[in-house]
Structure formats: structure tokens, C-alpha cells
């Protein structure tokens, strides 16, 4: 497989910083905001986003994780995956603005599963979506509120996000199976 780097560590940092400012602007601060990362790489992106929000505003934003494995509609078609823990910040999500955070936005099915999972946890004021890379090819009518980078891709290509917390390096690579 051949691949090309489309975002390096600096690009990722700048994208997350920009998204932090967009979250603050849209929500008039971070007072009611909670970030929930979707495992595995959405969690460290959510933590970085929270740090960027704090640097920009001085406000701390609670961060948690939301595992969507058992809410997916493609469990029978994909290999079995062990669920990750769901961690909801103290105080829950009721009457809060929940920003779901993921690495790559593709068909929309992961986010649909996340919305289903949220309904079992509580009732937020609103749900927003932040993604590091949006590669298109939506199968459901869902769009991201905050996007690090739009990456036009073919369906056969694969977008790989590498984060230092998981992979010891930062980068976004588009792999071509040919």
C-alpha cells in the first residue's frame, strides 16, 4: 500500500486550535460544553481540543469517552471488536452541550451510533460534532460542525490518523490500496 501524508503534527495542532476557537465562538464560551471522544483516536483528539480551549479561554472543559461499539449497525459485517470504556464526566450530559469528537468522518454511521448511545445516557441541550478529517462519502444525512481538514478521497482509499498518544507520531495519511 502506498500512502501520502496530508497533515503533519503542525497541521494537526493548528487544526485543533482553530476548532477550539470555533467551539468557543459558537457556544459563547465553554461554560456548558462537554467533549466526548469516540475511541480510539477521538479520545486523545478530545483531550487536545480541551487543552486548546483552556489555552484560548482559561475555561476547563470536561472530557470523557463514548464507546459506540454495541450501537453500530454493522456489527455482523465487521470483525468483533472489544468495547472500550465509556467515561461520562461528573454531572452527566443533561442540559449540557455535548461535542462528539472523532478522528475521521466517513459514512456517518459511527456518529449515528454515538447519537443512539447518548440517548441512553441523558438529554443534552445540543449535540455538535468535531472531526479531525472529513473524507466525504456520507451514507446518512449527518455533517460535522467543526472540521480540521476536508480530504476528498475515493472510496477505495483509506485515511489513517496517527497520534503521538497512540502511535508515537502525529500525521494523517491517505493510503491507496493499489
Cβ(170)–Cβ(163) below 8 Å: yes
pLDDT at position 79, please? 59
Q: Let me know if residue 133 belongs to a domain.
A: yes
| CATH number of the domain where residue 142 is located | 3.40.50.2020
Q: Let me know if residue 57 belongs to a domain.
A: yes
Q: What percent of the chain has pLDDT over 70?
A: 94
Mean pLDDT estimate for the chain: 94
Sheet holding 171-176, edge to edge: 2-8, 171-176, 158-162
pLDDT(74) > 70: no
Q: Let me know if residue 169 belongs to a domain.
A: no
pLDDT at position 178, please? 72
Q: Grid coordinates in use for 89?
A: 464526566
Q: Grid coordinates in use for 53?
A: 480551549
Question: Alpha-carbon distance 71 to 84, whole Å?
Answer: 13
Q: Let me know if residue 2 belongs to a domain.
A: no
pLDDT at position 77, please? 64
Q: Let me know if residue 163 belongs to a domain.
A: no
Number of independent structural domains in the chain:
1
Burial string for 97-135 (b: 16+ CB within 10 Å, else e) reads bbbbbbbbbbbbbbbbbbbebbeebeebeebbbbbbbbb
Q: Let me know if residue 174 belongs to a domain.
A: no
pLDDT at position 170, please? 98
pLDDT digits (tens, 9 = 90+) for 109-138: 999 999 999 999 999 999 999 999 999 999
pLDDT at position 12, please? 98
Q: Let me know if residue 161 belongs to a domain.
A: no
Cβ(156)–Cβ(163) below 8 Å: no
Range of the domain at 136: 9-71+92-152
Q: Let me know if residue 59 belongs to a domain.
A: yes
Question: Alpha-carbon distance 45 to 74, whole Å?
Answer: 25
pLDDT digits (tens, 9 = 90+) for 12-52: 999 999 999 999 999 999 999 999 999 989 999 999 999 99
Amino acid at each position: 500500500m502506498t500512502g501520502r501524508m496530508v497533515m503533519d503534527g503542525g497541521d494537526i495542532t493548528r487544526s485543533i486550535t482553530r476548532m477550539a476557537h470555533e467551539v468557543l465562538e459558537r457556544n459563547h464560551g465553554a461554560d456548558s460544553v462537554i467533549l466526548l471522544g469516540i475511541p480510539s483516536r477521538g479520545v486523545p483528539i478530545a483531550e487536545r481540543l480541551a487543552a486548546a480551549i483552556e489555552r484560548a479561554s482559561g475555561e476547563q472543559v470536561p472530557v470523557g469517552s463514548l464507546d459506540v461499539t454495541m450501537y453500530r449497525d454493522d456489527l455482523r459485517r465487521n470483525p468483533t471488536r472489544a468495547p472500550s470504556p465509556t467515561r461520562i464526566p461528573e454531572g452527566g450530559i443533561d442540559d449540557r452541550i455535548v461535542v462528539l469528537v472523532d478522528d475521521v468522518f466517513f459514512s456517518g454511521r459511527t456518529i449515528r451510533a454515538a447519537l443512539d448511545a447518548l440517548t441512553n445516557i441523558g438529554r443534552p441541550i445540543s449535540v455538535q460534532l468535531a472531526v479531525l478529517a472529513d473524507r466525504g462519502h456520507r451514507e446518512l444525512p449527518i455533517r460535522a460542525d467543526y472540521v480540521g481538514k476536508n480530504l476528498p478521497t475515493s472510496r477505495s482509499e483509506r485515511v489513517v490518523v496517527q497520534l503521538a498518544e497512540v502511535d508515537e507520531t502525529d500525521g494523517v495519511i491517505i493510503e491507496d490500496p493499489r
